[in-house]
């Protein structure tokens, strides 16, 4: 039998029912704030998962359709249907686990148990390093966030806007950045090594490193303003676990805005239809390369796109998606959303239609939330 808010009120004695209303309203407000952080697709999945949660009484499809179309209505439905706060919290946690929203789960862990004792869930401070049962842990980003930004402006109209958008995004994600504009090969290698050495010599704990390289390029290389080439693999190697111990088990993010070849994808038309480990002196070993996340603006061997006025397609999309959704997503999910925007936007190069798709390479072992 379904239980609504009124039945909960009537179950209390006359002297106790008023405070209970306040607790329910507070819980409903908290649930709505959580739901407001979900994307439209996540909200759709939330409704699907809610119907299958093993907690009696289950929400019926017709009631979900009738009352759960908005986040406000969905929050009210959840709290009123499971009129005990502990039950509502348990259900919310189970659905968020299925959505893999580790960042939101951290705010609700222990809420059901607290509700049993106090009648309402206790607010838990968000900690990016908390472990969520059944999910990957999150990287501890409490240390310094360091970024290196290299950009070739010469003969690259729109590059100045790329720099502005990139610096704005880094600032919003709380990165301290080092800038390198129009370097030759020797200067770039010298500056990026100095940046790496600074991480290793830092007295402060480093939580994350992000390197952005914006230039012309070809497969496996970026080009300097004088045409000299620098191997991307050589740059990646500078920050591996051997050469940069300060970043061991820390996320190393690389954003590459450069062509990877000369191929052009004009796209296609589609129909719109609906080992047992050894304990050696208790020392752990790591792969030489781990905890990397590399994002490319296009497929291998293909050109990247940059508008002379609005800047590079990928950088502009990153800025737009972040302004719309902020830092609520794991970095892979964030760039998936960026890719969705890029893939479904029409571009033309010399009056010829052209399509691009971002490429992500990852050896991350935990979630990254900025």
CATH number at residue 43: 1.10.533.10
Domain end residue (candidates: 49, 84, 118): 118
Alpha carbons within 13 A on the beta-carbon side of 35: 27
Backbone angles phi, psi at 348, to 5 degrees: -135, 140
Residue 101: how many other CB atoms lie within 10 Å: 24
What Rg value do the Cα atoms of the chain yield, rounded?
25
Would residue 128 count as lying in a domain? no
Domain end residue (candidates: 118, 134, 160): 118
On whether both 69 and 150 belong to a single domain, the answer is: no
Calculate the CA 298 to chain-centre distance.
20
**pLDDT of 24:** 76
On whether both 65 and 154 belong to a single domain, the answer is: no
**pLDDT of 269:** 54
On whether both 87 and 49 belong to a single domain, the answer is: yes
Written as six digits, the tokens of 170 are 């880094």
3-state secondary structure of 227: coil
CA distance 144 to 362: 22
Domain end residue (candidates: 118, 135, 166): 118
CA distance 278 to 284: 9
Taking CB atoms within 8 Å and a gap of at least 24, the contacts of 103-106 are 103/128, 103/138, 103/328, 103/330, 103/367, 103/369, 104/34, 104/37, 105/132, 105/135, 106/130, 106/132
Where would I find the H helices in the chain? 5-10, 17-35, 40-52, 61-67, 71-81, 85-99, 102-105, 111-118, 159-172, 185-201, 232-238, 313-325, 331-343
Could you list the active site residues?
Answer: 216, 259
Burial grade of 205 (CB within 10 A; 0-12, 13-18, 19 or more): exposed
Would residue 182 count as lying in a domain? yes
Would residue 10 count as lying in a domain? yes
On whether both 255 and 309 belong to a single domain, the answer is: yes
**pLDDT of 14:** 46
Written as six digits, the tokens of 107 are 């705010």
41 compared with 178, residue with greater pLDDT: 178
Q: Which residues have CB under 8 Å from 56's CB, separation 6+?
A: none
When mean pLDDT is compared across 69-78, 102-111, 133-142, 227-236, the lowest value belongs to 102-111
The β-bridge partners of 214 are 151, 257
On whether both 106 and 165 belong to a single domain, the answer is: no
Would residue 222 count as lying in a domain? yes
Mean per-residue pLDDT for 174-182?
A: 95
Hey, what's the torsion of the CAs at 366, 162, 194, 230, to 10 degrees? 90
The predicted-structure confidence for 113-168, as pLDDT tens digits, reads as follows 444 444 333 333 333 334 444 455 889 888 999 999 999 999 899 999 999 999 99
Would residue 351 count as lying in a domain? yes
CA distance 198 to 200: 5
**pLDDT of 7:** 39
Residue 19 pLDDT grade (very low, low, confident, very high; cuts 50, 70, 90)? very low
Pairing of strands 306-307, 311-312: antiparallel
The predicted-structure confidence for 242-277, as pLDDT tens digits, reads as follows 999 999 999 999 999 999 988 887 766 544 333 443
On whether both 196 and 312 belong to a single domain, the answer is: yes
CA distance 335 to 369: 12
Supply the range of the domain harboring residue 95: 5-118
Mean per-residue pLDDT for 312-336?
A: 89
On whether both 212 and 295 belong to a single domain, the answer is: yes
Residue 153: how many other CB atoms lie within 10 Å: 16
Residue 3: how many other CB atoms lie within 10 Å: 15
On whether both 348 and 246 belong to a single domain, the answer is: yes
Written as six digits, the tokens of 327 are 């830092």
Q: Are 220 and 264 in contact (CB under 8 A)?
A: no
The pTM for the full model equals 0.62
Query: How many domains, the chain?
Result: 2
On whether both 192 and 301 belong to a single domain, the answer is: yes
Would residue 124 count as lying in a domain? no
CA distance 113 to 123: 12
On whether both 100 and 192 belong to a single domain, the answer is: no
Would residue 271 count as lying in a domain? no
Q: Are 86 and 115 in contact (CB under 8 A)?
A: yes
Would residue 276 count as lying in a domain? no
Written as six digits, the tokens of 261 are 């070849």
On whether both 241 and 292 belong to a single domain, the answer is: yes
On whether both 64 and 186 belong to a single domain, the answer is: no
């Amino acid at each position: 039998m379904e239980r609504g808010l009124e039945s909960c009120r009537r179950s209390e004695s006359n002297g106790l029912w008023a405070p209970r209303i306040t607790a329910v309203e507070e819980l409903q407000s908290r649930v709505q704030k959580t739901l407001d952080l979900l994307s439209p697709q996540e909200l759709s999945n939330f409704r699907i998962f809610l119907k299958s949660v093993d907690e009696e009484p289950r929400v019926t499809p017709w009631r979900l359709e009738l009352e759960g179309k908005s986040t406000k209505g969905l929050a009210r439905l959840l709290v009123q249907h499971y009129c005990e706060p502990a039950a509502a919290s348990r259900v919310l946690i189970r659905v968020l686990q299925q959505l893999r929203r580790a960042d939101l789960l951290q705010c609700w862990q222990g809420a059901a148990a607290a509700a049993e004792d106090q009648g309402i869930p206790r607010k838990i401070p968000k900690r990016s390093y908390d472990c969520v049962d059944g999910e990957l842990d999150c990287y501890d980003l409490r240390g310094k966030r360091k970024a290196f930004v290299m950009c070739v402006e010469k003969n690259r109209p729109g590059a100045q806007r790329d720099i502005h958008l990139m610096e704005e995004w880094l600032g919003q994600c709380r990165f301290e950045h080092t800038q390198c504009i129009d370097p030759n090969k020797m200067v770039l290698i010298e500056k990026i090594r100095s940046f790496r050495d600074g991480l290793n010599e830092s007295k402060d704990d480093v939580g994350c490193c992000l390197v952005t390289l914006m230039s012309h390029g070809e497969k496996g290389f970026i080009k300097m303003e004088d045409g000299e080439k620098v191997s991307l693999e050589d740059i990646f190697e500078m920050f591996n676990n051997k050469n940069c111990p300060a970043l061991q088990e820390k996320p190393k993010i690389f954003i590459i805005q450069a062509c990877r070849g000369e191929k052009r994808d004009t796209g296609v038309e589609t129909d719109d239809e609906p080992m047992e480990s050894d304990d050696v002196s208790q020392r752990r070993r790591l792969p030489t390369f781990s905890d990397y996340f590399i994002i490319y603006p296009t497929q291998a061997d293909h050109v990247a796109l940059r508008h002379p006025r609005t800047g590079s397609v990928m950088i502009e999309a990153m800025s737009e998606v972040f302004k719309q959704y902020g830092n609520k997503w794991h970095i892979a999910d964030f760039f998936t959303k960026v890719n969705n925007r890029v893939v479904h936007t029409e571009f033309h190069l010399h009056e010829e239609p052209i399509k691009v798709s971002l490429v992500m390479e990852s050896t991350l072992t935990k979630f990254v939330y900025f």
